């Protein structure tokens, strides 16, 4: 591991000053970054410790929104009574991250900013082509033809990796906003658009600028957020990223769906909102066959860029199960 300088920031202003220089990275819980350094994926010359910035570790509830500081610990947010009551999908997503040790150390901002779990990207022992790791080298996943672990949507000819954040999926379904701060002030990004699809620059994971800091998450309060669930499908019950995940939220008028919000995880490099499915089931009674028929028809009409039938089938069933659980709340 390369030697590095270490700077402790005690305020956002301190951190912004420090990250303005080249070859600098931030560390909070260290759950992700230390692994990336050990694997040789990154080798910063300076690490800026953010853990002392107390203003970014708070969770608060206003009249209109849940506000989560980027440095709030995953386990603390998952157990927060306001989060559990007002935004259950967020609490459920956070509860299924990694292990208790990771949830106790990791931060919500770190979870959003983690990098893909693609085995070719994470391979630290064999030199395999990966455009995320070495731009222009190629994509070993595409060359191998493997599909089950990779993206259904938003793929490109340079990368087919998925993003592992559980929290990002729940935030996308609940129309959350992510606030970043740079030298010019604050900027607000829609949670759905915070992460990027690979395109021609797969080395860029998100839409933050190099001199910006993620400071907080804002989630609108309301009936939609309160009637939300997060469902995660994976091969092992713990310590594994989702093969497919779903965040689903609804508002009801009797048994009729007034509004639905559905986001898929594990299928792209960003949360994938299913706008056509949301529209198809709006106005349908969830206790009638027409609900199931509209849902299946809309799901089948979405053209994925991968022909992986297994993952597509899992996604369809996961969406239906998540919606059934949401309407039952």
Is the distance from CB of 151 to CB of 160 less than 8 angstroms?
A: yes
Tell me, yes or no, whether 49 and 69 share the same domain. Answer: no
Boundary of a domain, candidates 33, 55, 77: 55
Q: Are residues 176 and 189 in the same domain?
A: yes
Last residue of a domain, one of 15, 39, 55: 55
Residues 6+ apart with CB under 8 A from 302: 274, 276, 277
Where residue 15 sits, what CATH number does that domain have?
3.30.43.10
Same domain flag for 65 and 192? yes
* Residue 264 confidence (pLDDT): 97
Q: What are phi and psi of 67, to 5 degrees?
A: -120, 120
- Same domain flag for 109 and 123: yes
Q: What is the pLDDT of residue 20?
A: 78
* Residue that finishes a domain, picked among 9, 25, 55: 55
Query: Are residue 47 and residue 182 in the same domain, yes or no?
Result: no
Same domain, 116 and 223: yes
Percent of the chain topping pLDDT 90: 82
pLDDT confidence of 151, banded at 50, 70, 90? very high
Same domain, residue pair 71 and 47? no
Q: 18 and 86 share a domain? A: no
Domain of 15 in residue numbering reads as 1-55
Residues sharing a CB contact under 8 Å with residue 136, sequence separation 6 or more, in sequence order: none
At 7 the pLDDT is 94
Q: Are residues 226 and 321 in the same domain?
A: yes
pLDDT tens sequence across 247-299: 999 999 999 999 999 999 999 999 999 999 999 999 999 999 999 899 989 98
Q: Say if residue 33 is in the same domain as residue 105.
A: no
Q: Look at residues 117, 49, 108, 113 and name the one whose alpha carbon lies nearest to residue 83.
A: 108
Identify whether residues 213 and 322 lie together within a single domain.
yes
Prediction pTM value: 0.95
CATH number for 160 = 3.30.465.10
Please give the tally of structural domains in the chain.
Answer: 2
Q: Are residues 77 and 43 in the same domain?
A: no
């Amino acid at each position: 591991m390369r030697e590095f300088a270490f700077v402790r920031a005690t305020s956002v202003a301190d951190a912004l000053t420090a990250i303005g220089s080249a070859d600098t990275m931030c560390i909070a819980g260290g759950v992700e970054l230390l692994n990336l350094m050990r694997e040789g994926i990154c080798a910063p010359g300076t690490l800026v410790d953010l853990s002392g910035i107390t203003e970014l570790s708070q969770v608060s509830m206003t009249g209109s929104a849940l506000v989560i500081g980027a440095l709030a610990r995953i386990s603390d947010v998952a157990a927060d009574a306001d989060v559990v009551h007002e935004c259950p999908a967020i609490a459920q997503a956070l509860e299924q991250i990694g292990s208790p040790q990771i949830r106790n150390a990791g931060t919500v901002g770190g979870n959003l900013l983690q990098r893909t779990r693609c085995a070719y990207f994470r391979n630290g022992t064999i030199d395999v082509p990966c455009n995320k790791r070495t731009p222009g080298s190629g994509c070993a996943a595409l060359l191998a033809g493997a599909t089950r672990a990779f993206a259904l949507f938003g793929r490109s000819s340079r990368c087919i990796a998925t993003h592992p954040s559980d929290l990002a999926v729940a935030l996308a379904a609940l129309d959350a906003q992510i606030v970043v701060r740079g030298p010019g002030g604050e900027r607000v990004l829609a949670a759905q658009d915070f992460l990027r699809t690979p395109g021609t620059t797969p080395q860029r994971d998100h839409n933050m600028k190099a001199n910006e800091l993620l400071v907080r998450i804002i989630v609108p309060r309301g009936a939609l957020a309160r009637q939300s669930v997060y469902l995660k499908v994976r091969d092992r019950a713990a310590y594994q990223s989702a093969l497919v995940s779903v965040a689903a939220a609804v508002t009801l008028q009797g048994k009729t769906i007034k509004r639905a919000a559905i986001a898929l995880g594990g299928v792209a490099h960003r949360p994938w909102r299913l706008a056509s499915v949301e529209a198809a089931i709006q106005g349908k009674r969830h206790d009638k066959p027409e609900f199931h028929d509209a849902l299946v028809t809309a799901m089948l009409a979405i053209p994925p860029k991968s022909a992986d039938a297994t993952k597509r089938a899992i996604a369809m069933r996961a969406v239906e199960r998540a919606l059934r659980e949401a309407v039952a709340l």
